[in-house]
Amino acid sequence: MRVLPALIRAAALGVAAILGTTMLTACSDAASSSADNPYGLQQPGVLRTGTLTDAPPNVYLKDGKFTGFDNDLLTAVAAKLGLKVEFVGTDFSALLSQVNNRKFDVGSSSITVTEARKKTVDFGNGYDFGYFGLDVPANSTITSFDQLSGKRVVVVQGTVQDDYATGKGLDPVRVPDYNGAINQLKAGTADAWIAPAEIGEKSAADSGFKIKVAAKQLSPAPTAYAVAKGNNALREALNKGLDEVIADGTWKRLQEQYYPGRPIPAGFTPGSGKAAASPSTSASATS
């Protein structure tokens, strides 16, 4: 009559052994997963990056390939970490929220670091500095930012140029992308476009003399790559990789390639400041 309890005890021990093995396997898999994906990426080994398609020379799509200063620099940084980069086009107005909800691991778009944006995402160390540019139709008499009151001013939604125009009480016309701003100037439906300076200069040069650059002024903050709030492992890794591409000359080479002849403002140092970089003669724009 004691056979049944013995069988029950044996079965219970068997179940416990199976559960124990399952839990050990699960823990082992979790540890392996963490080791394979230390930066919490959507796909181990791949840095899924949100960027823009229409903002040369900073970030743009050319012959089916995402390129520009920011994207080429990020590719070099990722290589230092043993990562490949997968770029995906998006609108700037949506980029930061898409980074924070993990649709993208990184945001790359000459993103100016501001206190307001720090509430949505975390930023790596600054890798560039920039200027605001003022683009106007070729026949315009506007020559400075002080002449914009009462004018129809276009900005790309969500950029620091949008913030600047709003702060000056200009009630700007907001468009989702740079092509929208350029088309308004060409069509004469806007009096001015406050743009990242290099993007504005490139747009004017490519406009067939329909647009000109009226003025530019220094932006008060650096640009940096954005990561989701709390992803310190990825942020610190990007900072390390950035220092390495500064030290090996890649940062300087890309500056001179994309922004030839543009002086770096006094006092600006890219990265952590720990990496020794050769003096460069160029600087970037901001979004």
Radius of gyration of the CA atoms of the chain, in A: 25
Say what the pTM is.
0.81
Place of tokens 């929208």: 180
Q: What is the pLDDT of residue 282?
A: 44
The count of other CB atoms within 10 Å of the CB of residue 155 is 24
The count of other CB atoms within 10 Å of the CB of residue 38 is 12
Between CA 104 and CA 86 the distance in angstroms is 10
Place of tokens 């140029």: 161
pLDDT grade, residue 25 (50/70/90)? very low
Q: What is the pLDDT of residue 27?
A: 44
Secondary structure tally for the chain: helices H, strands E: 9, 13
Q: Is 103 helix (H, G, I), strand (E, B) or coil?
A: coil
Nearest to 228 by CA among 127, 117, 106, 125: 106
Under 8 Å CB-to-CB from 89, ≥6 apart: which residues? 50, 51, 52, 53, 61, 66
Q: What is the pLDDT of residue 29?
A: 38
Strand partners, 244: none
Domain architecture of the chain: domains with CATH: 46-127+224-258 (3.40.190.10), 130-220 (3.40.190.10)
Burial of 149 (0-12, 13-18, 19+ CB in 10 A): exposed
Between CA 245 and CA 227 the distance in angstroms is 19
Segment 227-255 shows an average pLDDT of 98
Residues 246-269 have pLDDT tens digits of 999 999 999 999 999 988 888 899
